[in-house]
Amino acid sequence: MKQLVIKRGQVILEEVPPPQVEPGRVLVRVFHSCISRGTELAGLEASGQPLWRRALEHPEQVRQLLAAVGREGVRRTASLIRGVLEAGTPIGYSLAGEVLEVGPGVEDILPGQMVACAGAQCAHHAEIVSVPRNLLVPVPQGLDTEAASTVALGAIALQGLRRLEPTLGETFLVLGLGLLGLLAAQMLKAQGCRVLAWDPLPGRRELLCGLGMEASLLRDQEPLAEQTARCSGGVGVDGVLITASTPSHEVVSQAFRCCRAKGRVVLVGDVGLNLKRADFYAKELDFRISCSYGPGRYDPRYEEQGQDYPLPYVRWTENRNMAHYLDMLAGGEVRLEGLLGESYPLQQAAEAYRALQAAEAPPLVLLSYPVEKPPPLERRVPTARVRAVPRDRVRLALVGAGAFAKGMHLPNLQRLQSRFHLRAVVSRSGHNATATARRYQADYATTDYQEVLNDPEVDAVLICTRHHLHAAQALAALQAGKHVLVEKPLALSREELDSLTGFYRTAKGEAPLCLTGFNRRFSPLVLRLKKWLREREHPVMLRYLMNAGHLPRNHWVHSGEGGGRNLGEACHVYDLFRFLVGAPWRTVHLQTLRPREGYYTHQDNFVVTVSFGDGSLASLTYTAAGHASYPKERLEVLWEGKVAELVDFRSLQIYGGSGRAHRLPRADKGHLAELEAFAQAVLEGGDWPIPWSEQVEVTTLALAAEEQMRKEESGERQSDATTVGQ
């Protein structure tokens, strides 16, 4: 399918694989999408700016860049930046079309239904889009998709009015008659309010008159405060809605001066905010911000996970605002005459953007898409010239092309081109799959995991998706005869783990290899420490501090997709304990820190103590309460008069005996060596890099700790540690 992206100040039409339908989402064939002058033209201009100018405008990103350089090094950080620039950015946030498929969990939307969709994360200028249920609404009978495609803009204007709280008979001033201002003025009139309006461009004032509005258009020749006083019996307007876009601070100041005492000002647009106390203090004015489409916007639980807000408590969510705006369009309370420019075919998108840049252009233009039934969807898009692959290389498919895969695994695969050939890239986003596949010269990109499972030219898969998908995707690959390197965790439940162990119990012949991404045991400093520990004769003590840092409660790691911090990250440490001790675990005991406030979750701060079959003891202190300037990971090992201290996999100090210090130029957590070991095992056979029994054992340990954590959260009393087999 075709999709628009912006890259280095240009609009580019690319061929990408269409998205797959997913639980809680709807697949939509787009008929019309709208391009607004403000948001999208600003994004197009920003994409063409040099990096130094963007840095000046966003100093917080400079700090992030410097931190990345210190953590990853100059070369890897530069590679990541180049990748982002070369990939471009999908654009679009408002469209309408026909439902193709409905994912599990969506019961009130049917294939063939006409819907309108919003959201910069999904409602792109593309022939087919995948949209979460809460970001789409049915199109009312009789309303065409041209008008319905403005749903996002209408919901933004409507939410501004919700914040303004207009009542019948009040007088309001709309500052700025771009598209949002023109829509909002009509909505205020429909509410039975008197509307005053002002814009510096005469053409926009004429548009308002052409919509049949009896608004009083204020003049440029005298101060706005005097004009609004004269139109309101000398008291000032009841409120002001700012829909302008300008860096000037004067707009807000004017709005305050136009209000009556106890009035309210709502900001929808983007203006300077150097507030003057004298403008609003004496009148005791309310100044409010309106956030996009309404309640639910930017809340991943609402938008991505489909958790609606109960109507009796949140009357107007972003979804309900979208639906009501379409009802107003269908009922004629809001009109779009003169607001919509020409409709351009998707292939002429660059021309559409140029037309919108003209001074007297309408506030927005539309892109149109073919309405005839599309041919069968092609899930595979070639991205490189097919070439013969030597037999001594693993033909690999990358499944999940997120930040970690692009920042760590793909650069390492480039370094190991003598061992790997990147056959395919799979991602839920067709644009991301295609851009990543092109950058790293994969043969093709796809959004369909089944494509690589059915591909006889794929020897192995590298699974880097979110945690809740790991076990099922690994099992499907093993059943298809593919070797698997799956990022941790291997499984999030005992049932998932049982499905994988069941495969190997019943497998006939030589089963494919499965390697969980417990990379830390492959770190060069860990291997050096392991050599020291092989000479011991007595049990060992290990103490690990994971200074993990805080994650917001709505972060995906805390959700069902992530499984929490114990299963998702602490499992690394459990595997490291198992590797260094060299004996099975026997008991595990977990205690959590119970915070008095809601800043931390129950999974953010805990201590795990593990005993092993040889008598060794290990403890993990996992915390989100530390400071970022302190090392993230510190391991202390004590045995037979010696102490080893490993800090952030960059320095190792041995105290006692003939100990010495070892320091690397930068942290090495073993990711490259892990890939090398995987390739060797696939190509040459022999022992697995991590025995399957140890992978199962470590995952069982993490699940046992998780069960104790859940008991603590529910208030159950912890009396005994969990023992193997419980």
- Where does the pLDDT of residue 76 fall: very low under 50, low under 70, confident under 90, or very high at 90 and above? low
List, in sequence order, the alpha helices (H) in 165-309.
179-190, 202-210, 224-231, 250-258, 277-280, 300-303
For residue 81, pLDDT over 80 is answered with: no
> What is the percentage of the chain residues whose pLDDT exceeds 70?
91
| 343-346 contacts, C-beta under 8 A, 24 or more apart | 343/32, 343/146, 343/367, 343/368, 344/368, 345/369, 346/2, 346/4, 346/13, 346/125, 346/127
pLDDT of residue 721: 65
Q: How is 355-414 classified by DSSP, letter by letter?
A: HHTSTT--SEEEEE---SPPPPP--EEE-S------TTSEEEEEE---HHIIIIIHHHHH
Question: Looking at this protein, which amino acid is placed at residue 510?
Answer: E
pLDDT of residue 660: 83
281: CB partners within 8 A, 6+ apart: none
Integer CA distances (angstroms), 311 to 105, 295, 319, 322, in order: 20, 11, 11, 15
* Same fold across 2-150+336-368 and 520-668+688-723: no
pLDDT of residue 61: 60
349: CB partners within 8 A, 6+ apart: 4, 11, 13, 125, 367
What phi and psi values does residue 713 have, to the nearest 5 degrees? -65, -35
Model confidence pTM above 0.85 = yes
For residue 723, pLDDT over 80 is answered with: no
- Residue 590, SS3? strand
For residue 149, pLDDT over 60 is answered with: yes
Integer CA distances (angstroms), 216 to 182, 197, 213, 231, 614, in order: 13, 6, 9, 8, 86
pLDDT of residue 725: 58
Count of Cβ atoms closer than 10 Å to residue 316 Cβ: 20
Count how many residues are written for the chain.
726
CATH class of the domain defined by 380-519: alpha beta
Q: Considering the chain, what is the average pLDDT of its residues? A: 90
Q: Distance between CA atoms of 45 and 60, rounded to whole angstroms?
A: 20
For residue 172, pLDDT over 90 is answered with: yes
For residue 68, pLDDT over 70 is answered with: no
pLDDT of residue 364: 87
pLDDT of residue 214: 63
Cβ-contact 449, 21 below 8 angstroms: no
Per-residue pLDDT tens digits for 423-474: 999 999 999 999 999 999 999 999 999 999 999 999 999 999 999 999 999 9
Q: Distance between CA atoms of 15 and 483, rounded to whole angstroms?
A: 30
- Residue 165, SS3? coil
Q: Please state the separation of Cα 167 from the chain's center in Å.
A: 39
Cβ-contact 384, 441 below 8 angstroms: yes
Burial of 487 (0-12, 13-18, 19+ CB in 10 A): buried
- Where does the pLDDT of residue 64 fall: very low under 50, low under 70, confident under 90, or very high at 90 and above? low
Per-residue pLDDT tens digits for 466-475: 999 999 999 9
pLDDT of residue 74: 62
For residue 314, pLDDT over 60 is answered with: yes
For residue 408, pLDDT over 90 is answered with: yes
Superfamily, domain 2-150+336-368: Medium-chain alcohol dehydrogenases, catalytic domain (3.90.180.10)
Q: Distance between CA atoms of 108 and 309, rounded to whole angstroms?
A: 17
**Arithmetic mean of pLDDT, 399-407:** 94
- 159-289 — its CATH code? 3.40.50.720
What phi and psi values does residue 699 have, to the nearest 5 degrees? -65, -40
**Arithmetic mean of pLDDT, 28-36:** 95
For residue 579, pLDDT over 90 is answered with: yes
Q: Where are the domains of the chain?
A: 2-150+336-368, 159-289, 380-519, 520-668+688-723
Higher pLDDT, 248 or 715: 248
The DSSP H or E segment spanning 11 is strand 10-15
Per-residue pLDDT tens digits for 619-656: 999 999 999 999 999 999 999 999 999 999 999 999 99
pLDDT of residue 598: 77
> What is the percentage of the chain residues whose pLDDT exceeds 90?
74
For residue 77, pLDDT over 80 is answered with: no
For residue 593, pLDDT over 80 is answered with: yes
199: CB partners within 8 A, 6+ apart: 175, 176, 177, 178, 181, 205, 244
- Residue 365 pairs with which residues in a beta bridge? 35
Q: Distance between CA atoms of 489 and 517, rounded to whole angstroms?
A: 8
**Eight-class DSSP state of 455:** -
For residue 221, pLDDT over 80 is answered with: no
Higher pLDDT, 415 or 40: 415
pLDDT of residue 648: 97
The CATH number corresponding to 520-668+688-723 among 3.30.360.10, 2.60.40.1180, 3.20.20.20, 3.40.50.300 equals 3.30.360.10
**Arithmetic mean of pLDDT, 195-220:** 79
pLDDT of residue 355: 85
Structure tokens at 209: 């008159």
Structure tokens at 286: 């309310």
Mean pLDDT lowest among 119-128, 377-386, 429-438, 678-687: 377-386
